[in-house]
Amino acid sequence: MTIEKAGEMLRKGEITSVELTSAYLKNITEKNKELNSFLEVFSDSLEQAKRADGRIKNGEAGGLTGIPIAIKDNILIQGRTASAASKILENYVASYDAYVIKKLKDAGAVIIGRTNMDEFAMGSSTQTSAYGVTRNPYDKNRVPGGSSGGSAVAVASDMALVALGTETCGSVRQPASFCGLVGLKPTYGRVSRNGIIAMGNSLDQVSPFGKTVKDVETVFNVIQGKDEMDATSIVPHLEEEGAGGGNVIGIPWHLFDSGVDKEVMDNFKESVEKLKNAGYKIVDIDLPYSKYSLATYYIIMPAEVSTNLSRFDGVRYGLRKEGENVSDVYKKTRSAGFGAETKRRIILGTFILSHGYYDAYYNKAWRVRNAIKEEFQNIFKKVDFIMTPTTPTPAFKIGEKLDDPVAMYLCDIFSAPANLTGIPAIALPSGFTSGGLPLSVQFMAKHFGENDLFLIGKKFEETR
């Protein structure tokens, strides 16, 4: 089932949104206990569906009217818990809708529940959640990727038609890769961050999951737009938006010298050949600064984490543990409320921002980030797309990398450049391993090049 197919059936009266939503709720009842994708299923889902059916009957339907969608637990929905999968926000109820939720409600989408994630979006496996591990539907002993693993599993296991996640560094593209889905990371600023529990302000972006490029495009077109409540919100000029697609694909082969699984690499080469046969021109490109992307990200991100999470102090909202004085309240609340990975990143970020290290690490990382941005701007004068594997390996086993944070961080090696530079990127299913695990490739485009990514994505789907 796709949005396009479901929408056509809804408009023709072949099904109702209540029937469609009921089918997904049935799947949740049957599958969620084992997969742990949803943290909460909303009791008013069928009421939302009834209202959507009314809009369809009155001829007021849009592209998402009556479509069941799952929402990551760090996106605020008024009157609903938004815990960011952390104990420190276990009982926090959102007082307003995020911008993207307003857009979905205006479009008549059926928001069926909130999904599991790595705590405060810190992780690449959805194992750091305070509410248990989410399992990959292709192999329940493996991770679904993270941090938006719950949303990915909801779509991959037919518990939602589409879903929203958030990206700070591959947190939608990586689980899309591990779960056989399409995942879009939009241009920074194309989708408002208003109402998103922040991790890294200069990196975060709301991102959609779907089973097809068309589904992801439909969701993106609904949620994108200018928001006066977000100072980073951007609307491109018409001439900036890609529309022609282009046919020159640059591949930085030097970035794949080591650390890439053989089946991933073989599948990538096969995908390149398919694109050649489809009429695309393939050229080698050199991105010398990009090899520093991951190191740069893991300096800038913890610094922003340290600043953002300082608000969770047991005073204003969230968990509170009583102490002898204010400092004692802070200490006890944060010790009880934050998980190990979140604490690790807060401590690392605080160190990076401390006196004597700010210039040595943080300022230097920003200089490298700007160099990477300039590198990409220059390369997009020569090519229309940059293509890489989405991840260096297929989905790994639950618990496999938990004791080695650096090994876990390396899962993001091909994701970091797009987040650091703010360009859009799309992950596309490209086949399976010999053991039946999904594989994926990604395309990056210049700023505001989402339309170009949709075009090449649809062409790539035709080659599979």
H-assigned helices in 309-362? 326-337, 340-352
Going by C-beta distance under 8 Å and a sequence separation of 6 or more, which residues neighbour residue 431?
267, 270, 271, 438, 439, 464
Q: Are strands 110-115 and 38-41 parallel, antiparallel or unpaired?
A: antiparallel
| Cα→Cα distances 264→39, 84, 259, 390, 413, Å | 32, 32, 11, 9, 14
Of the candidates 37, 45, 147, 233, the residue annotated as catalytic is 147
Of the candidates 17, 37, 72, 125, the residue annotated as catalytic is 72
| Cα→Cα distances 201→193, 296, 427, Å | 9, 15, 23
276 is catalytic: no
Residues of the chain by 3-state class (helix, strand, coil), percent to 5: 45, 15, 40
- C-alpha–C-alpha distance, residues 4 and 30, integer Å: 26
- C-alpha–C-alpha distance, residues 89 and 354, integer Å: 27
Beta strands in 92-234 (DSSP E): 110-115, 162-167, 182-185, 205-210
Which structure tokens are listed for 302? 């913890």
192 is catalytic: no
Going by C-beta distance under 8 Å and a sequence separation of 6 or more, which residues neighbour residue 355?
none
- C-alpha–C-alpha distance, residues 198 and 203, integer Å: 10
125 is catalytic: no
Looking at residue 255, the DSSP 8-state letter turns out to be: G
Of the candidates 37, 86, 125, 171, the residue annotated as catalytic is 171
Positions marked active-site:
72, 147, 171
